[in-house]
Amino acid sequence: MIRTNTNYLQLSHRYLFAEIAQQVNAYKAEHPEANIIRLGIGDVTCPLPDAAIKAMHHAVDECADGKTFRGYGPEHGYDFLIDAIMAHDFTPRGIQLDREEVFISDGAKSDTGNIGDILSTDNIVGITDPVYPVYVDTNIMAGRTIKYIPCHADNGFTGDIPTEHLDIIYLCYPNNPTGAVITKEKLAEWVNYALREKALILYDSAYEAFISSDDIPHSIYEIEGAKECAIEFRSFSKTAGFTGVRCGYTIIPKELKGADGTSLNALWNRRQCSKFNGASYISQRGAEAIFTPEGQQQVRATIQHYMKNAQLIRESLAFFGLTVYGGEHSPYIWVSTPDGEDSWHFFHRLLHDANVVVTPGEGFGTHGEGYVRITAFGTWENSLEAMERIKKIL
Ligand code: MLT
Phi then psi for residue 256, to 5 deg, are -75, 120
Task: Measure 177 CA to ligand 1 centroid, in angstroms.
Answer: 9
Q: Report helix, strand and coil shares of the chain as percent, to nearest 5.
A: 45, 15, 40
Task: Measure 243 CA to ligand 1 centroid, in angstroms.
Answer: 9
**Closest CA to ligand 1's atom 4:** 42
Ligand 1, residue 359: give the atom nearest the CA: 2
Give the DSSP per-residue string, 47-62: PPPHHHHHHHHHHHHH
Q: What is the overall mean pLDDT for the chain?
A: 97
Which of 17, 137, 332, 347 should be mutated for ligand 1, with most atoms under 8 A from CB? 17
By residue count, the chain amounts to 394
How do residues 129-174 score in pLDDT, each as one tens digit? 999 999 999 999 999 999 999 999 999 999 999 999 999 999 999 9
Q: Which amino acid appears at position 131 of this protein? A: V
Task: Measure 292 CA to ligand 1 centroid, in angstroms.
Answer: 26
Q: What is the rounded CA–CA span in Å between residue 17 and residue 4?
A: 24
Task: Measure 66 CA to ligand 1 centroid, in angstroms.
Answer: 38
Phi then psi for residue 306, to 5 deg, are -65, -35
Ligand 1, residue 132: give the atom nearest the CA: 3
The model's pTM: 0.97
How do residues 222-241 score in pLDDT, each as one tens digit? 999 999 999 999 999 999 99
Ligand 1, residue 133: give the atom nearest the CA: 3
Which of 15, 132, 178 should be mutated for ligand 1, with most atoms under 8 A from CB? 132
Q: Counting beta carbons within 10 angstroms of the beta carbon of residue 284, is it exposed (0 to 12), middle (13 to 18) or buried (19 or more)?
A: buried
Task: Measure 238 CA to ligand 1 centroid, in angstroms.
Answer: 9
Task: Measure 28 CA to ligand 1 centroid, in angstroms.
Answer: 22
**Rounded mean pLDDT of 346-355?**
98
Q: For domain 6-48+294-393, give the CATH number.
A: 3.90.1150.10
Ligand 1, residue 43: give the atom nearest the CA: 5
Q: What is the rounded CA–CA span in Å between residue 178 and residue 330?
A: 9
Instruction: Kindly indicate the confidence band of residue 103, based on its pLDDT and cuts at 50, 70 and 90.
Output: very high
Q: What is the rounded CA–CA span in Å between residue 343 and residue 363?
A: 9
Strand (E) or helix (H) holding 336: strand 332-336
Strand (E) or helix (H) holding 26: helix 16-30
Up-side HSE of residue 82: CA atoms within 13 Å toward CB?
Answer: 20
Task: Measure 4 CA to ligand 1 centroid, in angstroms.
Answer: 28
Ligand 1, residue 177: give the atom nearest the CA: 3
pLDDT at position 152 is 97
Of 97, 92, 71, residue with least CA distance to 82: 97
Ligand 1, residue 243: give the atom nearest the CA: 8
Task: Measure 180 CA to ligand 1 centroid, in angstroms.
Answer: 16
Contact 102/77 with Cβ under 8 angstroms?
yes
Instruction: Kindly indicate the confidence band of residue 13, based on its pLDDT and cuts at 50, 70 and 90.
Output: confident
Q: What is the rounded CA–CA span in Å between residue 384 and residue 2?
A: 53
Radius of gyration of the chain (CA): 21
Task: Measure 261 CA to ligand 1 centroid, in angstroms.
Answer: 34
Asked if omega into 130 is within 30° of 0 (cis), the reply is: yes
How do residues 181-212 score in pLDDT, each as one tens digit? 999 999 999 999 999 999 999 999 999 999 99
Task: Measure 174 CA to ligand 1 centroid, in angstroms.
Answer: 13
Q: Identify the residues whose C-beta falls under 6 Å from ligand 1.
A: 41-43, 109, 132, 176
What does the DSSP 8-state code read for residue 337?
Answer: P
Ligand 1, residue 41: give the atom nearest the CA: 2
**Rounded mean pLDDT of 29-52?**
97
**Closest CA to ligand 1's atom 1:** 42
pLDDT at position 139 is 98
- Residue ranges per structural domain of the chain: 6-48+294-393, 50-291
Contact 130/364 with Cβ under 8 angstroms?
yes
- The third-level CATH classification (topology) of the domain covering 50-291 is Aspartate Aminotransferase; domain 2 (3.40.640)
Phi then psi for residue 200, to 5 deg, are -115, 130
How do residues 282-318 score in pLDDT, each as one tens digit? 999 999 999 999 999 999 999 999 999 999 999 999 9
pLDDT at position 142 is 98
Contact 174/180 with Cβ under 8 angstroms?
yes
